[in-house]
Amino acid sequence: MSVSCHPKLPLFATGINDETNVIERGENQSCHVFELESSTIKPINKTSASTSRNVDDYQKVTRFSRSGNYLVTGFTDSRVTVLKMPDLTLVFPPLRFNGVQDVDVDPEEEYLAVATPKALIILSLQDGGAIKQVIDSPKLNKKTECEFRSCRYSAKNDTLYAVVNPKSRAHGFICSWQLRKNKQRRYPVSQVKTSSVCRKSITSFSASPLGDLLAYASTDLSVGLIDANTLRCRS
């Protein structure tokens, strides 16, 4: 259900559940890393991202950091696991956040953003996963209930982006927060922009490597490109 390509090496990580009897013992090694060779895909390592015994749980989110030094997973049992590459050792014990939707590591690899429906949670990678800020899901026009769907850091303009969908599924919005210039104290941040970018809810979201473009896919089957600075759609 999730896959991520290493930014520098011919590797990719993905979530693959073990057999039912293995999961029921709490030994599901769902996080797999493969090497891409000239004509083959070679398994090189795997580890457990969750000890859930529920066979319906799976690795919903898989994300490499920009250097490839970290691999972060999000499980449907609400567990977020940060692993150190290449040996897949734990950076700190797994944490739980209800309804994990997405994760992303900042360009300096000091912070981890975790998107859940009700909140965007900022953790310190250097401080054992300590929470630095919790950004509650906004109410558009102070009335419309919304949920976070995805999050991405930009390497270009020190900005954190998030997809926000109204519960009514009408329209999809992108919110942005400007990070503090003080590298030692980047949080808390305040919201700087919100923009409606499509007529239905957004299901997938990403930022370009340079951070100048954002891309989304919507339930109305549309795919769009957004200028990261203006949050306006590009034709």
pLDDT score, position 137: 84
The residue among 180 and 205 whose pLDDT is bigger is 205
What confidence tier does 235 reach under pLDDT thresholds 50, 70, 90? Answer: low
SS3 48: coil
Q: How, if at all, do strands 233-234 and 146-154 pair?
A: unpaired
pLDDT score, position 76: 96
Q: Which two tokens stand for residue 145?
A: 């209930």
Spatial distance between the Cα atoms of 55 and 32, rounded to a whole number of angstroms: 18
**Across-strand partners of 234?**
225
Q: Which amino acid is at 29?
A: Q
Question: What rounded mean pLDDT belongs to the chain?
Answer: 92
Average of per-residue pLDDT across 93-107: 95
pLDDT score, position 111: 95
What confidence tier does 100 reach under pLDDT thresholds 50, 70, 90? Answer: very high
- Tell me which residue has tokens 């693959």: 16
Query: pLDDT per residue over 121-149, tens digit each?
Result: 999 999 999 999 999 987 777 777 899 99
Domain map of the chain by residue range? Answer: 1-96, 138-235
CB 65, CB 45: distance < 8 Å: no
Query: pLDDT per residue over 21-61, tens digit each?
Result: 999 999 999 999 999 988 899 999 999 999 999 999 999 99
CB 59, CB 1: distance < 8 Å: yes
SS3 89: strand
Q: Which two tokens stand for residue 138?
A: 């906004």
What's the DSSP call for residue 180?
A: P
Query: pLDDT per residue over 216-227, tens digit each?
Result: 999 999 999 999
Helical residues (DSSP H) of the chain, grouped into ranges: 20-24
pLDDT score, position 48: 95
Query: pLDDT per residue over 29-38, tens digit each?
Result: 999 999 998 8
